[in-house]
Structure 1
């Protein structure tokens, strides 16, 4: 598994490299740090010039912050897997990270979860720290568009599950043996049924109501 670390603090990148490489060396698929960057623009350049499976990236950095870099990277390659590792719990950061399609959001204090989180994302899942998961319900509860949430059918629940794991419409269609058009129609129906605005709120709905 090939990882890139992006953080403007050289001590942090050095520490993360040691923790991850030493902690994963006994695994069947050890994590190799392929590149280290110190700002968002450097992250984009390094990703374009290396074979990288996952990016572990801070948010507040000079030149270009992690969210801006993540948005540009996902436009260049929709399959890129980004985990944000930061000290910041601001709602707007979490919402934007979800909106652009990141695969995870962890706090730097949660070092023991790093390797399991990286492996989970590599296997197609999304990961959030406990403090972040605790915040997710309020993003729906505070929405002026929220109404009583109707239960979904088994097929709709399954679709939302795959969406929350970060799969694209094409990938969900393959999983569920539907056409992409059918998946788009299902998503429109689900959003209307739940009175939610977009895919981001649907992912939040999943973590609040369906993930346990």
Structure 2
């Protein structure tokens, strides 16, 4: 598989390049130091997978991913970051990213890329099998499951909140989209977490995607 790496930390980018190039089935075709560079590099090299850091100067990884995934026949995008942040994870996967990995687990990157190339998604080492299709902007989007059948214990409004969270919206955006106050959104999220036995927003989004299996 052909891989592009984008990370503003030259040491990280170099280390990943050495580790991945040592794999017989992986070729690193280029590295970039920011999102804009990654977009241009992808256009020139047409890789199979793009490893993107989220926080980079100028054009960040989320913006770069949106541009990359909007192109015809886009590569798979895997985010690589130094920390696990629920909001970033939800937004990254809602964009259509195939994975979200923590940088410290460098040894796990190559196996994760093979999993992604096999058509599955990886969230910090956990494999998520979910159907994907090309959405309105050409990005990879998940098809909407039947939430009433999937989450019968939730109210219609709670199911609406689940779908909006899975689409990457924060509480303010959910409130605007669903015409409710932010306090009401927070109450719905607390109720959803309690009813489904979950801990955070990311697990709500993952539960939604797993409903596609």
TM-score greater than 0.5 by the shorter chain? yes
Pick from 200, 205, 211 the counterpart of residue 166 of structure 2. 200
Q: Residue 5 of structure 2 aligns with which residue?
A: 5
Cα deviation, residue 11, structure 1: 1.2
Note the 1:29-178 alignment, pairs <5 A. 30-77=25-72, 79-130=74-125, 161-163=129-131, 167-168=132-133
Cα deviation, residue 80, structure 1: 2.4
- Closer, same or farther: CA 192–58 of 1 in aligned 2, 3 Å: same
SS at the partner of 2:119? coil
RMSD: 2.9
Cα deviation, residue 21, structure 1: 1.3
**Where does the alignment leave 5 or more consecutive residues of structure 2 unmatched?**
136-141, 152-158, 168-203
- Closer, same or farther: CA 109–207 of 1 in aligned 2, 3 Å: farther
What is the CA–CA distance in structure 2 between the aligned matches of 1:104 and 1:112, rounded to whole Å?
Answer: 15
SS at the partner of 1:49? helix
**Where does the alignment leave 5 or more consecutive residues of structure 1 unmatched?**
134-159, 171-182
What is the CA–CA distance in structure 1 between the aligned matches of 2:8 and 2:110, rounded to whole Å?
Answer: 21
Cα deviation, residue 198, structure 1: 5.0
Q: Residue 179 of structure 2 aligns with which residue?
A: none
> What is the TM-score when the length of structure 1 is the normalising length?
0.66
Range with greater deviation from structure 2 (10-19 or 78-87): 78-87
- The ranges of structure 1 where at least 4 consecutive aligned residues each deviate by more than 4 angstroms after the TM superposition are 206-211
Cα deviation, residue 10, structure 1: 1.2
* Contact 1:70 1:82 survives alignment (8 Å): yes
- Closer, same or farther: CA 109–161 of 1 in aligned 2, 3 Å: closer
Higher helix share: 1
> What is the TM-score when the length of structure 2 is the normalising length?
0.66
* Contact 1:6 1:37 survives alignment (8 Å): yes
